[in-house]
Amino acid sequence: MEINLLYVSQIMRNSPQLDVVFNAHKCSIIDKETSLTVVVGLEDHGLYRLLDTGDSPNVALAARVSPINTLWHQQYGHLNMQYLSQLSREGLVSRLPDIQTQQLGVCDTCQASKQHRSSFKDGESWHASKVLQLIHANICGPMNTSSITGCKYFLLIVDDFNRKMWVYFLKYKSDAFSTFQKFKTLVEKESGYNIMTLRTDNEGGFCSSAFSNFCDTHGIKRQLTTPYTPQQNSVVERRNHTVVVMERSMLQHRSVLNKFWAEAVFTVVYLLNRSPTQAVKGKTPEEVLSGRKPKINHLKVFGSIAYVWIPAAKRSNLDSKS
């Protein structure tokens, strides 16, 4: 049997009768009761290579590697060990020896080249049970083209309970704080509820001391996502993606100039608030918040030609009325 890795933490945790002693050139594992050295390792380029494991029962704490498994794993282009074991077990190829999945250990090459972030499983995160108990916010931009009002960003806010959305357009990310203050006043008066928790990423617009102090003063809990982990704020991230995709489709459908992107985004948010969502069964977000079923008979295709009537006070007798 070959042993290439010894877990010191497991020895200390599972075998309290052993002492592990290190110095600059040697590592010794000593039995406290008999004072006998069970294992000796000599330092070699930062590692302690074992000289003798003896007959100690504690070899179960070591990681065992079958050289033949490692060789075939490498010869098969670092194929997943489950597949390599299946080839051997089911006889899908000839002349492959018996391969046991658990006998490979850790392949450093696979770790470096294949490691990926664990997926975020649906249904495991906490969801709000009432309006404004948890709201998600995110800043999208900068857009390549400024809107007709000079904005390059939009702030999207989503209520976790009913998925109702609000959108605000910003010239600078730093405008997020003053915009949030206005939103808080509006939405709390409109709904009769108070904002309890705000979840955002670590964008500068959300992390100023003024923003944090405002939330502390008004009893709003802050939840900041881990850097490079948008999945933790997936509710607003998915909505952001949907909004941008629909906005692009609406602009392209009628060849509307890109400078009207803000008008398209505002329209998309208006429509999504009146569309079904998996988070709310049998109702739209607008109905959940307002208590009224929304009417949509006024909708027009975005980009349609519109004629605006000009009041008589703003035109002469010979001027056009529209």
Quick check: 103 pLDDT over 60?
Answer: no
In a domain, 127, yes or no: no
275, part of any domain: yes
Q: 296: which 2 tokens?
A: 């949509």
Query: How far apart are alpha carbons 41 and 28 in whole angstroms?
Result: 6
Are 79 and 208 in a shared domain? no
pLDDT of residue 270 exceeding 90, the answer is: yes
Point out the least confidently predicted range of 7-11, 30-34, 101-105, 221-225: 101-105
Q: What residues are paired with 48 via a beta bridge?
A: 43
| Residues 83 and 189 occupy one common structural domain | no
Average pLDDT rounded to a whole number, residues 258-280:
92
202 and 278 together in one domain: yes
Would you state the pLDDT for residue 82? 78
3-state secondary structure at position 262: helix
**Would 219 be classed as within a structural domain?**
yes
pLDDT confidence of residue 60: 43
258 and 149 fall within a common domain: yes
pLDDT band at 92, cuts 50/70/90? confident
Structural domain boundaries enclosing 78: 67-114
Residue 296 lies in a domain: no
| pLDDT of 71 higher than 80 | no
- Do residues 42 and 52 lie in contact, with contact meaning Cβ atoms separated by under 8 Å? no
Q: What is the DSSP letter of 192?
A: S
CA-nearest of 136, 144, 132, 143 to 169 is 143
Report residue 9 as tokens: 């933490």
Provide the whole-model pTM. Answer: 0.65
Task: With cut-offs at 50, 70 and 90, classify the pLDDT of residue 55.
Answer: very low
pLDDT of residue 118: 61
Is there a domain that residue 201 lies in?
yes
What is the domain-level CATH number for residue 186?
3.30.420.10
Task: Identify whether 242 is part of a domain.
Answer: yes
